[in-house]
A and B are shown apart, each in its own frame.
Chain A
């Protein structure tokens, strides 16, 4: 586990490395925890500012300087987990940028806060 811990999100070393590479390619980034259909439990990685952040979105923390958001109600319904950002082989299925590098981000839960 890397030392990139801010509040409720931490990243594994592998995820940290992927984010650093993506930052080199795409510039500043943002991460947003998705929900719902298909690859709905995945965090989606976008260029910073790509998704308009609303009043009901919660900034959970930062991973290597990249802000990580979640919908406030979703976070409550997930019972406020501490999230661990990791990465696995195989492309992301949605609009998430790491898919272009042939990998996909995942989250697993640590203990709730």
Chain B
């Protein structure tokens, strides 16, 4: 990271020297065109860095969703019949244009969401590009099946696109989560109507500007506006063939309910309260691996804790607690907080004032429950332009797993730490949660790592690592963390129908009638 740390601070979008051009107002992206919302209403889009508006986006209504569906319907037959080679080429060109515009997209994403550019430059944007490449590749290697029923009868299995699908994107990784959902949908020949999260409606419009000439008109349509109106209008619409959602549990239930009413499939990713388990043997040596484990704990502050898989519960074996925690707290003290456009910044502001309030509320709950505050616990203040930004100090509580701060997803840089004596106890605490999205296990003993990873009821168990999100590694929830998987070619199943063509080559009648 040495060269990155010396790099200059990026200018905010729209300012002289910024890699991001900025318009005063943006429209919906429908049918390959920029379309004003029918009612002509817009909302201000705030940057969490300053707490001030920097552009306007549509405040759309259900009629705008219908326009987007019209455009998707107009495009769907041609896109479904486009050859796999051609569809794959389109996905690869999307990946190319993302990479060619790495700094522009990274700065746009950081300014809108608050995440530091050292993350968007190194992770969000390159991973988004790679995701399109991955699905461009795997779709080329897909094959149908031929099943021999008897010597004259054969079942041919084809995968066919669903048609037009709806996708609702969260605010924490606006571009990467869009890429996770768009790439498999497009690869399999579907058209998409996508609703970005209300706090982060804009960076994906910068992405749309880049792909205007690459993606056929109507294949990707983006409509911004309030979830209560257009989220519902999309998710409950008779014209979608599938709905994909990432967000909280009540809306997740609504999504599945709307899908049931229309008898369509849904996939949901609804968050977690991920345990990160550190066994005593991580301190058997004072080496690179120990250093990696310490960083592994501090990763709770990645993306200011606004990650569904935030390792927000650290379980540390009692015998190493004091020494291990001392090292971790020393590392947490070194976290540089501030302007996310400074490549040296490690943690930026929370995405919205609402998130900031929620975090403060949970800190209060933690203190009331008797948890011990080890570091942080309050808003961070900066002078000048950042004065009204939504900054919160990286925070650590020590307590026990029965406390509410160990049970509910705070979605901020707040870690709840507890200790365990035995492997059995560690597993019990790890699983004592409603959620099951992510988990981490740190040990030098590979047998124990395997037992723990198989024992934890979560869709992803990072073992001697954390927060890696490569394409080709399945991601999704157990328990109330949702239904379905992303990030892997098994998603091709989520975005296709199976057609069975059952053929008889026998000229003889059945003889029944």
Binding site for B on A (CB under 8 A): 32-42, 44, 46, 50-52, 71, 73-74, 77-79, 81, 88-97, 99-100, 104, 106, 108-109
Contact = CB atoms under 8 A, between A and B. Distances in A.
Contacts of B434: 35, 73-74, 77
Interface in B33-73: 43
B30 interface: no
A68 to B, nearest CB: 12
Contact of A36 (B306, B352, B481): B481
B407 A40 contact: no
B352 A93 contact: yes
B361 A93 contact: no
25 contacts: A34-B251, A35-B250, A35-B409, A36-B248, A36-B435, A36-B480, A37-B409, A38-B171, A38-B172, A38-B247, A38-B306, A39-B354, A39-B358, A40-B270, A41-B409, A42-B248, A46-B254, A90-B354, A91-B226, A93-B198, A99-B198, A99-B227, A106-B361, A108-B361, A108-B365
A96 B227 contact: yes
B138 interface: no
Best-buried of B172, B229, B354 by chain A (most CB within 10 Å): B354
Contacts of B13: none
Contacts of A74: 408, 434
Contacts of A95: 227-228, 231-232, 250-251, 254
A36 B272 contact: yes
A94 B250 contact: yes
Contact of A81 (B229, B308, B404): B404
Best-buried of B198, B249, B306, B308 by chain A (most CB within 10 Å): B249
Given A50-B254, A73-B434, A77-B407, A37 B480 contact: no
A26 to B, nearest CB: 9
Nearest to B171: A38
Nearest to A33: B250
A77 B353 contact: no
A33 B99 CA distance: 41
B159 interface: no
Interface in B421-447: 433-435
Given A91-B226, A100-B226, A37 B254 contact: no
Nearest to A89: B353
Contacts of A88: 353-354, 357
A97 B228 contact: yes
Interface string B321-340: 00000000000000000000
Complex A-B, nearest 5 residue pairs according to Cβ-Cβ distance, in ascending order: A37-B271, A36-B271, A34-B250, A40-B248, A34-B248
Given A88-B354, A96-B227, A106-B358, A38 B197 contact: yes
Best-buried of A51, A73, A91 by chain B (most CB within 10 Å): A91
A32 B250 contact: yes
B252 to A, nearest CB: 7
B230 to A, nearest CB: 10
A92 B352 contact: no
B171 A79 contact: no
B227 A41 contact: no
A91 to B, nearest CB: 6
B253 interface: yes
Contacts of B226: 91, 99-100
A38 B411 contact: yes
A44 B481 CA distance: 18
Given A35-B408, A95-B250, 20 more contacts: A35-B271, A35-B434, A36-B252, A36-B271, A38-B271, A39-B355, A39-B358, A40-B249, A40-B270, A40-B411, A42-B358, A50-B254, A88-B357, A90-B352, A94-B248, A95-B227, A100-B228, A100-B229, A106-B361, A109-B368
